[in-house]
Amino acid sequence: MYPSDLKYSKEHEWVRMNGNIAEIGVTVFAQESLGDVVFVELPAVGSSVVQFEKFGEIESVKAVSDLFSPVEGTIVEVNSAAIDSPEVVNEEPYGIGWLIKVELSNTDQLDALMDATSYESILQ
Amino acid sequence: MATRIALVIGVKGLNSKKSKETSLHAIHVASGGRMVPFGGWDMPLQYLDGIIAEVNAVRNASGIFDVSHMGRIEFEGSGAEKFLSSIISANVPALKIGRSKYNFICNATGGIIDDAMLYRTGEQHYLLVINAANFDADMNWINTHYYDQSDVNMRVVTDDTVMIAIQGPKAVETVDSLTHGKASKIRRFRIGSAEFNGVTVTLARTGYTGEDGFEIIVPSYKGAELWSKLRESGSVEAGLGARDVLRLEAGLPLHGNDLSTDTNPFEAGLGRFAYFEAPNYIPGYALRHLSATKPSRKLVGFKMIGRGIPRRGLNIFADGAKPADESKSVGIVTSGTYSPTVDGGIGMGYVDQIYSVIATKLMIDVRGRLVEAQVVDMPFYKST
């Protein structure tokens, strides 16, 4: 449920690093809590995000939630599949249901995130 | 993600008063129901397959809902007809045995305390079904006028019975199979009874989804058995989340959202359910006056054209409005959701009269983003 190669934020986002590009999505806990995801609002490529600040919104049938960026940097890619078919966030939150890719300004900020074990412990 | 999930979905810890449980509570928990506080009760929001699957089951086959939390009050006696005429907006003397009437419980000034279903189950016997969340307010209204009624026996039977709604194109045949074909003999919007495994159950052929089906009232000890039988017959368990989507798709208002003591039946477009001619009807004078006055605002249904989902409490602006200046709002959203059946955002809201015409373009202020919408005829979905 919480792959060990990812980093996690307490706001239930995950980060997968590839060089200095961070791929970002929501965790299994988040998508299960939300229920059927029906709408995702994401910023445009080129806009910047600030660590632990709002970058978008995710909606299920019943609920609206803010998305908080686990990292700081510039958005280099937005997942159009998540916008066009939001159910992919439920189906594969760590795969085709990813949300944005961010080029990091520095990698030290990753120290503020949790590993899978710590993240799971805050869910207890 | 953060805290707003907890607020919208509802967290037990936030609920200071202990919620009541229906007789089916343990079954909901065992089925993976996500339990939330609702109208003083601990009820399933959804089960494991989620709201969309539950909505689709009701639209394509049949779904079952535990509606035991809804208040059920029996009125009996030679004065029942006259007493009910004084407190609800139904033409009670005109109601034949075995028929139902949707009506309002209005206060003395015509504000809507609740909406209700009245059934006439016998010559001097009526059943009134009310919303769980308004039970106390309704009882307060009823009791205020009940004190000197020696010829009316009033009994709250909510806790003695389980009420299960089964809705969908397969609902009637499913209930038929459990009642020796008796169910389908009851016509739409009528009430009757049948035998189910040795007990008499009450079958009201109504619902809150826009589909055919029944609300089945059964003695509490038999509730779990009926629920299991309906499941074994292929009905899918459905929770409050699906119920809210289904009723909105069907264009049915929800008290607490679309109706309140601050709204009256005429601005809600439901004047045909506000009968005020009974000489002893307490809000009669107020409702007659309101019926003759053109309301300044009206409840409309709208569909989103742009990308976005309307939600309760969002402001509505005129087409072409510039970014959110709340003082220029022309209305407010009272219900909104994503509709799987329509595949888009749908909602209801009150708008200034001139914006209530079908096809009028509106802008919904989705947390700072103005998204285009259009007034449409309700229901959003009609069963075939």
Note the ipTM here.
Answer: 0.90
The predicted pLDDT at position A51 comes to 96
- The pLDDT score that the predictor gives to residue B324 is 60
Q: Give the CA distances from residue A66 to residues A13, A41, A109, A114, B38, in Å, rounded to whole numbers and listed in that order.
A: 11, 9, 21, 20, 24
In sequence order, what are the residues at sequence separation of 6 or more whose Cβ sits closer than 8 angstroms to the Cβ of residue B189? B99, B100, B205, B206
Residues B8, A35: C-beta atoms closer than 8 Å: no
* Facing residue for B4 by CB, picked from A36, A38, A66: A66
Say what the pLDDT of residue B383 is: 87
Nearest to A61 among B2, B245, B367 (CB): B245
Span A93-99, mean pLDDT?
98
**Nearest in space to B304 (alpha carbons), one of B353, B361, B230, B251:** B361
- How many CB contacts within 8 angstroms connect chain A with chain B? 71
B338:A59 CB<8 A? yes
What residues in B contact A59, CB-CB < 8 Å?
309, 338
Residue B6: its pLDDT value, please? 35
The beta-carbon neighbor of B1 closest among A26, A35, A61 is A26
Query: Is A67 a domain residue?
Result: yes
Cβ contact B4–A39 (<8 Å): no
Asked if B367 and A57 come within 8 Å (Cβ–Cβ), the reply is yes
Spatial separation of the C-alpha atoms in residues B66 and B25, rounded to whole Å: 9
Distance CA B85, CA B275 (A): 9
Q: CA B252 to CA B141: how far, in whole Å?
A: 24
Residue A91 lies in a domain: yes
Q: How far apart are CA B138 and CA B314, in angstroms?
A: 28
Q: Dihedral (C-alpha) B341, B344, B345, B346: value to the nearest 10 degrees? A: -40
Minimal Cα–Cα distance from A54 to chain B, Å? 9
How close, in Å, is residue A12 to chain B by CA atoms? Answer: 6
Whether the Cβ atoms of residue A102 and residue A18 lie closer than 8 Å to each other: no
Q: Which domains does chain B have, with CATH numbers?
A: 4-63+159-249 (3.30.1360.120), 296-376 (2.40.30.110)
Provide the pLDDT for residue B132: 97
CA-based nearest residue to B164, from B74, B44, B248: B44
Q: What is the dihedral of CA B247, B271, B135, B334, to 10 degrees?
A: 50
* Candidate from B45, B307, B311 with C-beta closest to A64: B311
* Minimum distance, in Å, between the CA of residue A120 and any CA atom of chain B: 16
- How near does any CA of chain A get to the CA of B8, in Å? 6
Confidence (pLDDT) at B5 = 40
| Average pLDDT score over residue span A81-100 | 97
Q: Which two tokens stand for residue B331?
A: 């209305």
- DSSP label at residue B190: B
| Model pTM above 0.90 | yes
Could A62 and B50 be called an inter-chain contact, meaning their C-beta atoms sit closer than 8 Å?
no
For residue B135, how many other CB atoms are within 10 A of its CB?
20
Q: What is the dihedral of CA A17, A23, A26, A27, to 10 degrees?
A: -30
DSSP, res B307: S
Angstrom distance (rounded) from CA B308 to CA A52: 24
Chain B interface, best mutation among A15, A24, A31, A36, by max B CB count within 10 A: A36
Residue B96 per-residue DSSP state: P
The pLDDT score that the predictor gives to residue B320 is 84
Whole-angstrom distance, CA of residue B301 vs CA of residue A79: 32
Please name the residue ranges forming H helices in B106-220.
135-146, 171-178
Q: Give domain status of residue A2, yes or no.
A: no
Q: What is the CA radius of gyration of chain B?
A: 21
Q: What is the DSSP string of A3-66?
A: -TTSEE-TTSEEEEEETTEEEEEE-HHHHHHH-SEEEEE-PPTT-EE-TTSEEEEEEESS-EEE
**Total Cβ atoms within 10 A of residue A80:** 9
Q: Which residue is listed with tokens 């955002």?
A: B345
Q: What is the CATH number of the domain that holds A86?
A: 2.40.50.100
> Of the candidates B280, B287, B279, B243, which has an alpha carbon nearest to the alpha carbon of residue B263?
B287
Rounded CA-CA distance B322/B325 in Å is 8
Look at A68 and B1 and tell me if their CB atoms are within 8 Å: yes
CA distance A3 to chain B (A): 19
Distance from CA of B304 to the nearest CA of A (A): 13
Which candidate from B2, B8, B338 shows the least CB-CB separation from A39? B338
- B45 touches A at CB < 8 Å: yes
Token pair for A8? 């996690």
Say yes or no for a CB contact (<8 Å) between A13 and B46.
Answer: no
Question: Helix or strand or coil: residue B298?
Answer: strand
Per-residue pLDDT of chain B (384 residues; tens, 9 = 90+): 443 443 333 333 344 568 999 999 999 999 999 999 999 999 999 999 999 999 999 999 999 999 999 999 999 999 999 999 999 999 999 999 999 999 999 999 999 999 999 999 999 999 999 999 999 999 999 999 997 778 999 999 999 999 999 999 999 999 999 999 999 999 999 999 999 999 999 999 999 999 999 999 999 999 999 999 999 999 999 999 999 999 999 999 999 999 999 999 999 999 999 999 999 999 999 999 999 999 999 999 999 999 999 999 999 999 988 766 778 899 999 999 999 999 999 999 999 999 999 999 999 999 989 999 999 999 999 987
Instruction: Give residue B322's pLDDT.
Output: 77
Residue A86 lies in a domain: yes
- Over the stretch A23-63, which tens digit does the pLDDT of each residue have? 999 999 999 999 999 999 999 999 999 999 999 999 999 88
**Amino acid B147: pLDDT:** 77
- The whole-angstrom distance between A108's CA and the closest CA on chain B is 23
Residue A69's domain comprises 7-119
Instruction: Count up the domains in chain A and report the number.
Output: 1
Q: Which amino acid is at B97?
A: I
pLDDT for the residue numbered B321: 82
Spatial contact of B319 and B363, defined as CB atoms under 8 Å apart: yes
SS3 call for A75? strand
* Cβ-based contacts of B46 with chain A (< 8 Å): 35
Check whether the bond before B44 is cis (ω within 30° of 0): no
Is B51 close to A11, i.e. CB distance below 8 A?
no
Does the CB of B1 have a partner CB in chain A at under 8 Å?
Answer: yes
pLDDT of residue B1: 44
With an 8 Å Cβ cutoff, are A61 and B4 in contact?
Answer: no
B35 and A CB contact within 8 Å: no
Which of B4, B46, B369 faces A35 most closely, judged by CB atoms?
Answer: B46
